[in-house]
Structure 1
Amino acid sequence: MGRLNWVRLVILVLLAWGWLGTAAPLYAQGDLPVVVTVRLEGPLNPIWQETLKRAMRTAEERGAEALILELDTPGGQIDVMNRLIQQIRNSPVPVVVYVSPAGAMAASAGAMLTLAGHAAAMAPETSIGAASPVGGQGEDIGETMESKVKEILKASARGLTLRRGESAVRLAEEMIENARAVSASEAVENGLVDLVAPDLPTLLRKLDGLSIEFGDSQRTLRTAGAVVVEVPLTFMEQVLVVLANPNLVFLLLSIGVQAILIELSSPGGWVAGFIGAVCVTLAVFGLGILPVNWFGIIFLVMAFILFVLD
């Protein structure tokens, strides 16, 4: 098999991963209420948007009472956070953000995601807050930029917590202005989240009968005895989440640039150029610059170019 055929095979395998395990199995469960769950953990990344979209679609198709987003994150980029908040607030079913398991956190941007939920819960020994903006490497940003970002974040936080009362609004602003963080019990005491639950069955019992604002109306959740449908990450999503690791992004970028330079210095082999293009594309995706759909389109275009070259 020629070199270009091997290259095309690699691209087709990469693309095929995206269609493996894309849906959770569905089972008929009579008249019992249905709750869909999805777990998002680690730093915020663009893959979460696709995972959340798939979970919301499953919840809507099943007529679920709620989508429970199990969260454990140290935070992430503000633009990714904003897109996730938009998805949550425009969800076709109520979204309950559940910070779990014990020891988990909803830090920085994760705190804002928790506030965006139509209801919010935390497991014991979890924490939320420390939402002050920082640079991409955790460094301080300029005074003017920091002031601008803080003000827009506080405005968003006020909008998300207004229904929870003055104490919750004040605490949310302190999380952004002074990087304050609180425990699960403190969050409930200030009205920032609705309840504390050690596990999912307990959460479902406590959510039953809870009145929430959903759209322009009030809605009462019916979750006692609910059938739980889990939406796991697909294999491709797991791979792409790994690619979002900053250390791996730096390594891919270094290899990609070096490979492209090798191709430019000795053109004609295409292998070094292909490896460089793939590594740079993966690195750009890992930085959160390249959306998932464009990520796939670029690989399709690369495969077409290789067919032409062959």
Structure 2
Amino acid sequence: MTSHGTISRRGAVGRGLVHLCLLVLALGLAAASPPPAADGGRRAVLLQVDGVIGPASADYVRRGLAEAAASGAAIVVLQMDTPGGLDASMRDIIRAIIASPTPVASYVAPGGARAASAGTYILYASHVAAMAPGTNLGAATPVQIGGPPGLAPQEPPDKAAPAGKDEAGAAPAPQRGGAMEAKATNDAVAYIRALARLRGRNADWGEEAVREAASLDARAALEANVIDLVAVDADDLLAQVDGRTVDVAGEPRTLRTRGLAVEVAPPDWRHGLLAAITNPNVALILMMIGVYGLIFEFMNPGTLYPGVIGAICLLVGFYALAVLPVNYAGLALILLGVALMAAEAFAPSFGALGLGGAAAFVLGGLILIDTDTAEFEVSLALLAGMAVVSLAFILLAARLALGAHRRRVATGREEMIGESGKVQDWNGAGGHVFAHGERWRAVSSGPLAPGDRVRVQAVEGLTLVVAPEPPDDSR
């Protein structure tokens, strides 16, 4: 009976565990599944891009579009106020918009906002392009893409002659830079014209915005067929696009947006973290902390904290550089500079290695980021400060190392050389002396007597070679 009761209890416990596991699994699936949209998807998701477009902005928009599509949102409103940004990040956003199964309405707002440079391309790529009163767009010229400015001579516009018409029948403006600038400009023109044809917008003005940095306010952009509408707020935008047919993923779709509830999807912690670490100045600081942390760990094995922190900072810094437009020659110069400055501490070269390393470090930092966006440039003040601090640290380390080299040996047999002692007993050429707190057997080339002060000249095994201490040193 007892055995049968035990088996029954075990069976009940087993069934209870199975039920508990099934309950946990069901709760996990419910949490993983997107919540159903209220009122059958009758809502609009509002994404806000405020500031320079970079890797963090691209990640935020991509994730926002994916979540809106998964939750069944009727439309995504991408509200922008941007001076432009990185070309790679802009193209990531555009690819996400074109591939999105949810219509995207890009909206330049609030009043006083702008969609310059990269923002203009995003407007052209969106299913619906809208602006608030008092906003502007344009100035989409790809300055400095392909190399730093000033490398190519500039020709005045009135001295250049048009070179004929392109395939679209538009006369291209004269190129005022070198071959690399012309290549980048033509690529940007082809890109914006392709987006204009995709959405049925003014391709000629788009080319003008690229070649001549043209800009338009909201009303002029509407009249020029650059945008679709002017709206005072998001609710007005949704009311105006209601009933409009747009092409979504190759299929026509009629928008039903009047009266939609607008749900704001603000940037989360991931966006803030990416925005912080993809700042080139922060990335450079992380790399320096990582390099010096590893150097300190190698100099003092077993300390652990510098090595662990250094490795983490170095990997995060490399990740940040991986998503930024990095000039690898600049990165190589920075690493060379760090190596030379570290070598100065281990092999003092009277400043040659240290100064060369500081020069390589500053030069590498200046050309590290290959972009025309000022917000993604490395600060010259930061570079100078880091170079000065590194040089000061290295010179201090070199001075300490040189002083330690010249200092008298403090351990081992060599420490006994020059040590003072006192004769305890002596017979002929040998006897015993008390030196360094111990009694030693000693020999000398001259006669000595108990109580005499002696100086250690050498150590031969366990025997000291001593000589009488000069009278001036016996005080």
TM-score grouping bracket, smaller chain normalisation: 0.7 to 0.9
Matched, 1:154 2:168: no
Matched, 1:198 2:207: no
Q: What are the equivalent positions in structure 2 for 1:24-173 lying under 5 Å apart?
A: 29-31=38-40, 33-135=42-144, 139-140=148-149, 143-162=178-197, 168-173=202-207
Contact in 1 for aligned 2:52/2:83 (Cα 8 Å) = yes
Residue 88 of structure 1 deviates from its aligned partner by 0.8
Structure 1 pair 73–274 and aligned structure 2 pair: CA distance change class (3 A): farther
Out of 153, 171, 175, the residue aligned to residue 209 of structure 2 is 175
Contact in 2 for aligned 1:134/1:141 (Cα 8 Å) = no
Contact in 2 for aligned 1:34/1:64 (Cα 8 Å) = yes
2:252 maps to: 218
Contact in 2 for aligned 1:164/1:192 (Cα 8 Å) = no
Residue 244 of structure 1 deviates from its aligned partner by 2.7
Residue 160 of structure 1 deviates from its aligned partner by 0.7
With structure 1 as the length reference, what TM-score do the two structures score? Answer: 0.76
Question: How far apart are the structure 2 equivalents of 1:99 and 1:240?
Answer: 24
Contact in 2 for aligned 1:47/1:237 (Cα 8 Å) = yes
Contact in 1 for aligned 2:46/2:77 (Cα 8 Å) = yes
Residue 139 of structure 1 deviates from its aligned partner by 4.8
Q: Specify every segment of 5 or more residues in structure 1 that has no aligned partner in the other structure, as ranges.
A: 1-21, 291-310
Question: How far apart are the structure 1 equivalents of 2:113 and 2:107?
Answer: 10
Question: How far apart are the structure 1 equivalents of 2:49 and 2:123?
Answer: 12
Q: Deviations over 1:177-215 (max 9, x none)?
A: 122222222221211111111211111111212222223
* Count of matched residue pairs: 268
Question: How far apart are the structure 1 equivalents of 2:131 and 2:322?
Answer: 28
Question: How far apart are the structure 2 equivalents of 1:124 and 1:252?
Answer: 43
With structure 2 as the length reference, what TM-score do the two structures score? Answer: 0.51
SS state of the match for residue 91, structure 2?
helix
2:446 maps to: none
Residue 155 of structure 1 deviates from its aligned partner by 0.8
Matched, 1:207 2:241: yes
Higher relative contact order (CA 8 A, sep 6+): 1
SS state of the match for residue 204, structure 1?
helix
Question: How far apart are the structure 2 equivalents of 1:138 and 1:203?
Answer: 41
Percent identity of paired positions between Structure 1 and Structure 2: 36
1:307 maps to: none
1:296 maps to: none
Q: Deviations over 1:120-178 (max 9, x none)?
A: 11122222121111347995275222111111111110111125657x21111111112
**Which range is displaced more, 129-138 or 46-55?**
129-138
Question: How far apart are the structure 1 equivalents of 2:188 and 2:118?
Answer: 10
Contact in 2 for aligned 1:133/1:176 (Cα 8 Å) = yes
Q: Deviations over 1:227-249 (max 9, x none)?
A: 22222222222222232334433
Give the letter aligned to residue 58 of structure 1: E
Out of 160, 171, 184, the residue aligned to residue 218 of structure 2 is 184
SS state of the match for residue 227, structure 2?
coil
Give the letter aligned to residue 68 of structure 2: A
Q: Deviations over 1:61-110 (max 9, x none)?
A: 33222111112222222122222211110001111111122222212122
SS state of the match for residue 269, structure 1?
coil
Structure 1 pair 72–276 and aligned structure 2 pair: CA distance change class (3 A): farther
Contact in 1 for aligned 2:125/2:199 (Cα 8 Å) = no
Q: Specify every segment of 5 or more residues in structure 2 that has no aligned partner in the other structure, as ranges.
A: 1-30, 152-177, 325-475
Residue 283 of structure 1 deviates from its aligned partner by 3.2
2:323 maps to: 289
Question: How far apart are the structure 2 equivalents of 1:134 and 1:265?
Answer: 46
SS state of the match for residue 224, structure 1?
coil
Q: Deviations over 1:237-288 (max 9, x none)?
A: 2222232334433433443343344344444423223333333333344445
Contact in 2 for aligned 1:75/1:109 (Cα 8 Å) = yes
